[in-house]
């Protein structure tokens, strides 16, 4: 009697093991970085999340142009210990994206057994690559599970023939859509898919009112909870909507490093293999979808094309061209894989090769970053402050580099931990100058090289105040460190 393969003996299909491996690969990409030093955004958001209470600014003592669910997630990570907890939260988000992408494939093409592998595989080969800012936890990473969950729920809602189940799924999709936007205001993917299906699918059109109502209710509830912690709805609107238009004008006039970052972002986009994978899925996914059974999902091809186009526009309009913007393209590629799975076209060598190239790119870049870690010049300044600052000292970093303060365990009396809010809301640096000559003056001021002469900001008054009231005590890496010389008069 021939021996039965062990996977069959335990009742697990080979494709299930492939799916498990896809999830494991995506998560394992984060493990080497659990204890690595925080990036500027990670350090800043942990400070904001940990200090969020009723205070003098939008989120207690600090102001940042991000919605409250993101701050709450970083506050959770801060309460659980900080760096490692945050990275584990990022790994969990990555795993959820891969799992939910598989569920989307199942919902979109239940008659095709390979559909979950196609969609989960598309997510797995992209979510952990450092070319998309992977290994660093940011708003895009934490928002992706809500995006993919929302798209999956809405597709399943439109496919369901049960009124009750379809309604429940549409309500779930609306909640996820709102939470995604309340993590990062540019994550409008679920709404885009819902609007496109409103035009292309009669069944989806019937679910749209429930979707819209639950999204609105969720936004109201989140805003109400934020207000209980001292963050007003008017303040949130100013931060996540009005400020972005003001920031856009500032970024449009930026003649600094943005063009160089744009070139690096374009290179990362090509090197990731994403264009090749999207082209293969789109080319092979032409034609009419397969005839399905009683569970009939809407045709997702047009929705996938529109979603990818919107995601590309969001990346370009982001202005700063940071690599982590690119991870926002993952839902569009996953939806394109779902649309491909709906068609009778087989998985050809060209399609498999596109998956293989994209996956190989992620593995090679991950291996490179493990051996050659991302440089953190801020650590030298943090080490100096940690060695010389008293426990109750305060500090300001001009500009950005909030991970310096987080690593040195110092608070800032200046509400802007990032350069862009300072450039938009304090362009003459009058607030910062008034601070350093007041009784609330920080004990330490850390100035990044060239910061006071960048972005056409007027730093003369601040330079004079530092020369008069502070002592220059050290220069480490690209940072000059000043210590308050005497009590303010």
Average pLDDT over residues 151-166: 91
> What is the predicted pLDDT for the residue at 19?
58
Give tens-digit pLDDT for 425-439.
Answer: 988 888 999 999 998
pLDDT band at 130 (very low <50, low <70, confident <90, very high): confident
- Which ranges of 184-329 does DSSP label H, i.e. alpha helix? 189-200, 202-228, 233-237, 243-252, 258-271, 274-284, 301-317
Structural element, H or E, at residue 472: strand 470-476
pLDDT band at 140 (very low <50, low <70, confident <90, very high): very high
CA dist 390 and 410 (Å) reads 9
> What is the predicted pLDDT for the residue at 167?
94
Is residue 227 over pLDDT 70? yes
Average pLDDT over residues 108-129: 88
Q: Are 188 and 146 in contact (CB under 8 A)?
A: no
> What is the predicted pLDDT for the residue at 20?
63
What does pLDDT average to over the chain? Answer: 86
Is residue 441 over pLDDT 70? yes
Is residue 172 over pLDDT 70? yes
CA dist 482 and 489 (Å) reads 18
This prediction has a pTM of 0.88
Instruction: Give the Å distances, CA to CA, from 488 to 413, 434, 438.
Output: 15, 11, 6
pLDDT band at 182 (very low <50, low <70, confident <90, very high): very high
> What is the predicted pLDDT for the residue at 9?
37
CA dist 40 and 216 (Å) reads 33
Query: Who has greater pLDDT, 374 or 272?
Result: 272
Give tens-digit pLDDT for 61-87.
Answer: 999 999 999 999 999 999 999 889 999
> What is the predicted pLDDT for the residue at 456?
66
> What is the predicted pLDDT for the residue at 254?
63
Q: Hey, where are the domains in the chain?
A: 13-371, 378-484
What are the structure tokens assigned to 32, written together? 């080497």
Cα angle, residue 143 at apex, residues 140 and 144 outer, rounded to 5°: 85
CA dist 44 and 70 (Å) reads 12
Q: Are 403 and 35 in contact (CB under 8 A)?
A: no
């Amino acid at each position: 009697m021939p021996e039965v393969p062990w996977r069959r003996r335990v009742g697990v299909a080979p494709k299930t093991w492939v799916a498990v491996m896809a999830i494991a690969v995506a998560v394992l990409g984060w493990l080497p970085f659990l204890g690595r030093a925080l990036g500027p955004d990670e350090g800043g958001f942990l400070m904001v999340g940990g200090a969020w209470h009723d205070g003098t600014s939008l989120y207690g003592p600090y102001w940042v142009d991000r919605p409250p669910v993101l701050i709450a997630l970083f506050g959770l990570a801060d309460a659980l210990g900080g760096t490692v907890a945050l990275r584990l939260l990022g790994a969990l988000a990555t795993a959820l994206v891969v799992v939910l992408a598989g569920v989307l494939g199942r919902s979109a093409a239940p008659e095709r057994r390979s559909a979950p592998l196609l969609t989960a595989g598309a997510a797995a080969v992209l979510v952990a690559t450092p070319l998309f800012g992977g290994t660093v936890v940011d708003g895009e990473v934490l928002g992706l599970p809500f995006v993919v969950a929302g798209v999956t729920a809405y597709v399943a809602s439109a496919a369901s023939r049960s009124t009750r189940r379809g309604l429940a799924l549409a309500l779930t999709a609306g909640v996820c859509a709102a939470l995604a936007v309340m993590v990062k205001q540019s994550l409008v993917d679920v709404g885009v898919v819902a609007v496109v299906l409103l035009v292309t699918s009669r069944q989806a059109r019937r679910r749209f009112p429930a979707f819209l109502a639950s999204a609105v209710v969720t936004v109201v509830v989140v805003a109400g909870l934020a207000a209980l912690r001292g963050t007003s709805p008017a303040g949130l609107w100013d931060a996540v909507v009005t400020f972005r238009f003001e920031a856009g004008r500032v970024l449009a006039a930026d003649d600094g490093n943005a063009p160089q970052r744009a070139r690096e972002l374009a290179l990362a986009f090509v090197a990731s293999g994403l264009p090749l994978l999207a082209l293969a899925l789109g080319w092979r996914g032409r034609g009419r979808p397969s005839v399905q059974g009683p569970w009939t999902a809407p045709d997702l091809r047009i929705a996938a094309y529109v979603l990818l186009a919107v995601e590309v526009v969001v990346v370009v309009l982001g202005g700063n061209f940071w690599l982590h913007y690119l991870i926002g393209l993952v839902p569009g590629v996953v939806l394109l894989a779902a649309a491909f799975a709906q068609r009778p076209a087989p998985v050809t060598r060209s399609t498999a090769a596109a998956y293989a190239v994209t996956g190989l790119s992620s593995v090679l870049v991950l291996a490179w970053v493990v051996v050659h870690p991302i440089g953190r010049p801020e650590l030298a300044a943090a080490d100096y402050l940690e060695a010389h600052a008293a426990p109750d000292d305060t500090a300001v970093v001009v500009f950005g580099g909030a991970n310096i303060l987080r690593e040195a365990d110092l608070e800032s009396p200046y509400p802007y931990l990032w350069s862009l809010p300072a450039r938009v809301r304090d362009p003459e640096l009058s607030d910062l100058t008034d601070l350093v000559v007041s009784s609330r003056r920080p004990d330490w001021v850390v100035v990044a090289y060239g910061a006071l002469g960048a972005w056409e900001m007027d730093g003369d008054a601040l330079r004079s105040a530092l020369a008069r009231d502070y002592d220059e005590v050290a220069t480490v890496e690209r940072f000059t460190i000043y210590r308050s010389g005497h009590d303010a008069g």
